[in-house]
Amino acid sequence: MENKVQLFEHEKFGKIRVVILNGKIHFVAVDACRALEIKNSRAAMTRLEDDEKMTVDLTESHFGKRGGAQFMTVVNEPGLYRLIFASRKKEAREFQRWVYHEVLPSIRKTALYSIEQIVEQFLKSATSALPVQMCVYVLEMNNVTVKIGITSNFFKRKRNIETGSGLTVVRYFNTHYLNEKYARLIESLCHGIFSPYKLEGEFFSVDFEEACKAIDSFVKMVSVPAIGSEFERGRKIFKLTKKNIVERTNLIADKNP
């Protein structure tokens, strides 16, 4: 799905082009401004922070059109929210709901299919048991952020995170110890799902319990008979299916307008 332009159309707001760049969702700025009746899109871009916008070449993914390069300014989700708040269009709230409840869930559902393909390829290339065993953990910090990672020594890692960040772990979950290669895959998939909510460093602005459930889903995705019973205990730690990941991201989006 990376770098492929997706087109969404609404009878009231017209066409909105969306593209995934570096694992994050971006909206074509001129489309968003037109939908929000922001007449001077260039001026609107100057009011955004540098990490909320970028100019990209969408030539190869511009709906198959030929011709010159298609350089366009795109905005990420935080940038889009700032445009929505700046709009004087009375239907701006309706536009926001359309993005939250239809556009974003559709994109993330497609991303899940891509993740399943990654898992399938990973399992095909996976080697037999490796000597290093690691667990996947979720830490809830006292500033209401979440840290997701892997470690070969959970309690030592927990202490080091508290010392290095100056924060305190108020709740935590961790899986059983498993093959390092599988642990790294689960960590990578979870980080990919939560990438829009990543804060400075390695912390995420997501719900602790939902992050735990997402990890359980990834454990189940790689829990196949060919691997044996290595992941069986992981099924008992958290309770959620892949379908719930889409529902979860919808809820998080509503919590973070």
What is the pTM (predicted TM-score) of this model? 0.46
- pLDDT score for 171: 92
Q: Which tens digits make up the pLDDT trace of 38-96? A: 989 899 999 898 889 998 877 655 444 545 557 889 998 888 988 998 888 888 889 98
What domains can you pick out in the chain, each with its CATH number? 6-107 (3.10.260), 126-255 (no CATH)
DSSP strand pairing (133-141 vs 169-174) = antiparallel
| Closest to 185 in 3D by CA, of 227, 234, 97, 122 | 122
Q: How far is CA 165 from the centre of its chain?
A: 23
| Closest to 74 in 3D by CA, of 6, 120, 122 | 6
Q: Indicate left, alpha or beta for 59 from its phi (over 0: left) and psi (-120 to 50: alpha).
A: alpha
How would residue 1 be classed by pLDDT, with cut points 50, 70 and 90? very low
What CA dihedral angle connects 71, 199, 8 and 58, to 10 degrees? Answer: 20
Does the structure show a pLDDT above 80 at 138?
yes
Give me the chain's average pLDDT, please. Answer: 76
Does the structure show a pLDDT above 50 at 144?
yes
Task: Please report, rounded to a whole number, the percentage of residues in the chain having pLDDT higher than 90.
Answer: 22
CA gap 140, 166 in Å, rounded: 13
Tell me how crowded residue 12 is: count the other CB atoms within 10 A of its CB: 9
User: What strands lie across the sheet with 24-28, from one edge to the other?
Assistant: 6-10, 14-21, 24-28, 71-76, 53-57
Mean pLDDT value across residues 164-168: 91
- pLDDT score for 213: 87
- pLDDT score for 170: 93
CA gap 76, 149 in Å, rounded: 25
